[in-house]
Amino acid sequence: MSTDVSDAVELTGSSVAPYSPDNPAPVIEPPRARTKRTPRSSRTNFELYGWLFMRLSGVVLVVLVIGHLLIQLVLDGGVQKVGFAFVAGRWSSPFWQFWDLAMLWLAMLHGGNGLRTVINDYAEQANTRVWLKTLLFTAVAFTIALGSLVIFTFDPNIR
């Protein structure tokens, strides 16, 4: 195959139009740059805040969850002591109510955002992604609402 020399791109030793401040090279658009055609919905810093939230909530969750594991599974007879009476005793204190509420919200949002990342990584079709994320959002919202309701309306004298 013969090559037309005049069409070949010269990479070195070019005598024709060397790029300079007066003759700048054409700008190559970075693949993820935000342009006028980028949808408005993606012009936020949502992913940045999501990334930051994973780190902040992660640090807090390490304390909350490891404390929870120590209380429920290690101290004072381990899981054998857990029952309605044990829950009633703990939730008679606003401190433990707040502990469990914070753990519920942070863990569900942290896990929900993690699963959102997993869905975005592995679900290749746009439709599949939408449906899986709708299901995920519903499950997270339902679980947070149910758990919060249970903590706020807990009645030790239910019977």
Partner 1 sequence: MPAGTLYRGREGMWSWVAHRVTGVLIFFFLFVHVLDTALVRVSPEDYDKVVHTYKTPIVSLLEYGLVAAILFHALNGLRIIAVDYWTQGPRYQKQMLWTVVGLWILLMLGAIYPVLGHAARVLWGN
Residue 87 as a binder of partner 1 (CB under 8 A): the answer is: yes
Binding mask 9-38 for partner 1 (x = CB under 8 A): ------------------------------
- Provide the minimum distance between the beta carbon of 112 and partner 1 in the complex, in angstroms, as a whole number: 8
Site for partner 1 in 44-83 (CB under 8 A): 55, 58-59, 61-62, 65-66, 69, 73-74, 78-80, 82-83
- Which single residue is written with the structure tokens 């790029």? 19
Residue 143 as a binder of partner 1 (CB under 8 A): the answer is: yes
Among 53, 71, 102, 111, binds partner 1 (CB under 8 A): 111
Residue 97 as a binder of partner 1 (CB under 8 A): the answer is: no
Number of amino acids touching partner 1 (CB under 8 A): 38
Task: Determine how many CB atoms are found less than 10 A away from the CB of residue 10.
Answer: 11
90 contacts: CB under 8 Å, gap ≥ 6: 71, 96, 100
Among the listed residues 96, 91, 108, the one whose alpha carbon sits nearest the alpha carbon of residue 145: 108
Among 98, 118, 134, 137, binds partner 1 (CB under 8 A): 118
Tokens matching residue 36:
């006028």
30-41 in b/e form (b: 16+ CB < 10 A) is eeeeeeeeeeee
Alpha-carbon dihedral sign for residues 41, 45, 49, 51: positive
- Which single residue is written with the structure tokens 């929900």? 112
Residue 146: C-alpha distances to residues 18, 58, 138, 139, 141 (Å): 67, 22, 12, 10, 9
Which residue stretch of 27-35, 39-47, 112-120, 125-133 sits at the interface with partner 1 (rule: CB under 8 A)? 112-120
Residues that bind partner 1 (CB under 8 A): 55, 58-59, 61-62, 65-66, 69, 73-74, 78-80, 82-85, 87-88, 104, 107-108, 111-112, 114-115, 118, 139, 143, 146-147, 149-150, 153-155, 158-159
